[in-house]
Every structure is written in C-alpha cells, then in structure tokens.
Amino acid sequence: MKEQTFKKFMLFPLIPLIAAFVFDKLFFIGETPYYFLNTASFVNYEHKEELIFEMKEYLSKKDRKKVLAIFGNSRTTSFSNSYIEKNYPDWILYNFSVPGGTSDYFYYLMGKFQKHNVRPDFILFTVTPQGFNNASRIQMDEVMVYALPPAFIIQNLQHLRLDDITNYIAKKLFLSYKNKPLLTTIADRLKNHSEKKEILKFFISRSREALKESRGSVNLSPHEPVKDEVRMKKNAEDIINNFLRPFQYSKSQHYFTEKFLFIARELNIPSALLWARVSPDLRQMKNKLKIANLSKDKKITVREAWEKHMIHLADKYKVKFLDMNYETDFQCDLFQDASHMAGHCFPEFTDYLFNEINDIKSGRTSANTD
C-alpha cells in the first residue's frame, strides 16, 4: 500500500507538466497560429529541404547549366535570377541562404548532399563573426530551433553548449515558448473579420510560392540606401553590443565549418568561404574595438579573433576565403542597415562572386591569394 502511495506521489508532479504540454498544442490547431505568429522565417527552412531534391533533379538533366549553390544568411538571400541569366547564361543559382544561417546548419545540409549524392558545380559558404560568438547577448537560436532535427542534435551533443540544448528541448516541446501567443496580438488580428490574420496567411502562402519560383532567393529590397550617417553608426553600435560584445570564438561552429568543408572535398565540389560586406562603421568597429577575450588579461579585436581561423580553414581545405570587407577591390558601399548591403549593390555583388568563381574554376587563382 505504501509503495502504491509513493508511486502516485512521484507521478503527481507530472500531471501539471502533461496538462501544460496538451494545452500548449491547442494554440497550434488549424489556423489558430495565424492569429499570433510574429515571424514567417520558418518558411525558408522548410523550403530548403525541398530545394535539395529540386536541385538534384536539375543536376540529372543532360542539357543543364552549371549549378551554383549558396549557403548563407540574410546577407545573401536577395540575388536576381534574371540578372544571372542575362549576364552569366551558363550558370543557374540555387540559394540555400536562411535568416541567421550558421555553420551547424550548413553541415546539416551538406550531410543531406552527401547522403543523396547531390553535387553542384560550386558552393559558396557564407561565414560571419556573429555566427561564431559564444557570448552574444541576443541568442541566435532560430536556425537551431526551426531547421535542425532532433537526430542531428543528438548526433552532435558533444559539440553543443548545454544552454543551447536545453533551449532547443524547451522550444521543441512547448511550441508557445518558441512562438508566444500574445493576447494583444490575437486581439488585434481578430479585428475587422480577422483581416490581419488573413493577410499573414496570404503572405506565408505567397512566400512559399516565391521561394519555389526563385529557387530559394527573395526579392531585392526596393528601399533606397540609408544615407543618414548617424543612424547607420547607431545601428552598427547596436550590432556590436547585441551580437559581438564580448566576443568568444565558438569551437562548436569551428567544428561544424570544418565538417562541411570536409564533405565538400569528399564530394569533389569546388567551394569557397565568403565574408559578405558590411557597412564602413561596422567594418571599422570589428577592426578596431578590442572586445574579444584572448585571455583573462588580454583582449583583441573581433577581426583578429575570428579571421585567422577562417584563413586557416581555407588553407587546410584548399579553398579561397573571399573577404569583401578588408582585402577586396569591391566598391559598392550602399546599405539598408549596417549589416546588409542595399539592393543597389547586388548586381556588383553578383559580378564579384561569378568573377571569383570563374577564376577559381579556371585555376587562375589559388586559395587566399588576391
């Protein structure tokens, strides 16, 4: 009798947990999420899974063009397929860039490439210091939570921080922790016969269609470049404070970078590491502010702490490190914010990339020589 009572007592704490788990799922039945979702970025991650097989099917065609795959983040999402078709008619782009794209996600995708024997003619891997910081004030967990399946997390537990793992488990188990159903948002979207809810629903549907039509790219920003120098400097300072101060180089992301470069080499796919351009203010801060912890008593700049590792990996795997910030002849310096080039720069950006790719494939340049 005492044993049964003890078992019931031990089960008691599970009752509210199970109730909370069930209640959480009620918010995600049918069209309910459209009343409170505040992001549609998950559409990008869902589409990339499909894009792998779309690209594989295209690669099997006898009369196909050369295929470029870009793995990147929000800095590399907005390429114009019509511009590429007009100026580089021998090439076609499949864009695997996602908001906040980091090396763990690229490794996951390259594992898919390896499993399904998907071999584009060239891959650009976009890397950035923000994606390698273990001490960021704002957690960059979107890719991990939305894009990486539990099997991948389990296989790589030893390379992930405990905080990241617990955050992942919590947001996977309790969906409302990941997408908070705020009452103010719900009330607002119930107005006018749920007009705003229907707008979001249409936007998500159209986003899925657009990503499929453009093979993963999104439309170039129609906005004019920001010319307010005070605003741009403030934005650069915010990025430094939120994502780079202090800076502690991530051994985990280093490991994942090495893994995706290794797979690319195993599949015999030519590739390069790309450091996409950021604004002059942000470039200067990364190059001058000593906010990276080298030791207890010594600090160095973000550039010093991060760049040397990229150059080392590029040398080790015989790929080129394309530095568009400091060691470059790239000219366009127009931005929509401190971290993203304006759409006006993307034609030149596209030319820069294809010139580099053609030089690499023709053997006119070697790794890390300008």
Q: What is the CATH number of the domain that holds 272?
A: 3.40.50.1110
Distance from C-alpha of 147 to C-alpha of 170, rounded to nearest angstrom: 15
> Is residue 225 domain-resident?
yes
> Is residue 11 domain-resident?
no
Distance from C-alpha of 104 to C-alpha of 73, rounded to nearest angstrom: 12
> Is residue 288 domain-resident?
yes
> Is residue 66 domain-resident?
yes
Distance from C-alpha of 353 to C-alpha of 161, rounded to nearest angstrom: 34
Mean pLDDT of 163-176: 80
Statement: residue 166 has pLDDT above 70: yes
Which is higher by pLDDT, 83 or 20?
83
Distance from C-alpha of 154 to C-alpha of 112, rounded to nearest angstrom: 16
Name the residue range of residue 218's domain. Answer: 22-362
> Is residue 2 domain-resident?
no
Q: Write the Ramachandran bin of 265: left for phi over 0, alpha for psi from -120 to 50, otherwise beta.
A: alpha
Per-residue model confidence as pLDDT tens digits over 294-346 = 777 889 999 999 999 999 999 999 999 999 999 999 999 999 999 999 999 99
Chain-wide mean pLDDT for the chain? 88
pLDDT at 370: 42
pLDDT at 197: 80
pLDDT at 153: 95
pLDDT at 42: 81
pLDDT at 111: 97
Statement: residue 369 has pLDDT above 50: no
| DSSP strand pairing (271-275 vs 320-323) | parallel
> Is residue 1 domain-resident?
no
> Is residue 4 domain-resident?
no
Number of domains the chain is built from: 1
Statement: residue 5 has pLDDT above 60: no
Pair 282, 239: CB distance under 8 Å: yes
Statement: residue 176 has pLDDT above 90: no
Please list, in sequence order, all residues whose beta carbon lies within 8 angstroms of the beta carbon of residue 217, skipping any fewer than 6 positions away.
77, 78, 79, 80, 81, 93, 95, 97, 211
> Is residue 7 domain-resident?
no
Lowest pLDDT segment from 9-23, 56-70, 249-263: 9-23
Statement: residue 10 has pLDDT above 90: no
pLDDT at 65: 97
